């Protein structure tokens, strides 16, 4: 019986990893320029760079995350909300090209009828509101390659 439980747990972990639930954290190269994103949304922020998905770690104990600059990235979140026997899952994404030494503000969440959203602006102290529209906003670049953790699990011998 214990062997069956272990097999079911192992299969569940492998399936979760293959489905993208386990995502490796982004590790910047030495001296890689970064931009800050203040994230006030639900869920776990993620990026897609070079076709691979990465999780982000906050700076200290804050809502600030570092993202690579100089090339288009996808920025998104893994959202989940539940109650009253209904669970919503969604993964909103947007694309933009972060600039070095710039700070962005992002928000993501669930709207009416289980629809999700994500939004991003850049900080701009010359504006009355303190923010400005991000001019590089675009559709999120494709993130077709499986996350590094899933690649290892998917290629394991059976």
Q: Where are the domains of the chain?
A: 24-147
- For the stretch 118-153, pLDDT in tens is 999 999 999 999 999 999 999 888 876 444 444 333
- For the stretch 82-132, pLDDT in tens is 778 878 788 899 999 999 999 999 999 988 776 889 999 999 999 999 999
* Structural contact between residues 138 and 125, judged by C-beta atoms closer than 8 angstroms: no
Provide the 10 A C-beta neighbour count for residue 60. 6
pTM recorded for the entire structure: 0.74
Tokens at residue 54, please? 């990465």
- So what's the pLDDT on residue 81? 77
């Amino acid at each position: 019986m214990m062997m069956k439980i272990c097999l079911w747990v192992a299969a569940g972990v492998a399936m979760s990893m293959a489905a993208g639930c386990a995502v490796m954290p982004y590790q910047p190269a030495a001296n890689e320029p970064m931009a800050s994103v203040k994230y006030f949304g639900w869920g776990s922020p993620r990026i897609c760079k070079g076709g691979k998905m990465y999780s982000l770690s906050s700076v200290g104990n804050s809502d600030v995350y570092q993202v690579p600059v100089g090339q288009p990235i996808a920025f998104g979140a893994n959202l989940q909300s539940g109650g009253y026997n209904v669970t919503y899952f969604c993964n909103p994404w947007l694309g933009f090209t972060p600039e070095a030494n710039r700070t962005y503000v992002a928000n993501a969440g669930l709207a009416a009828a289980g629809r999700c959203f994500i939004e991003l602006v850049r900080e701009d102290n010359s504006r009355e509101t303190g923010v400005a529209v991000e001019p590089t906003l675009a559709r999120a670049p494709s993130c077709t390659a499986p996350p590094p953790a899933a690649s290892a699990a998917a290629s394991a011998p059976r």
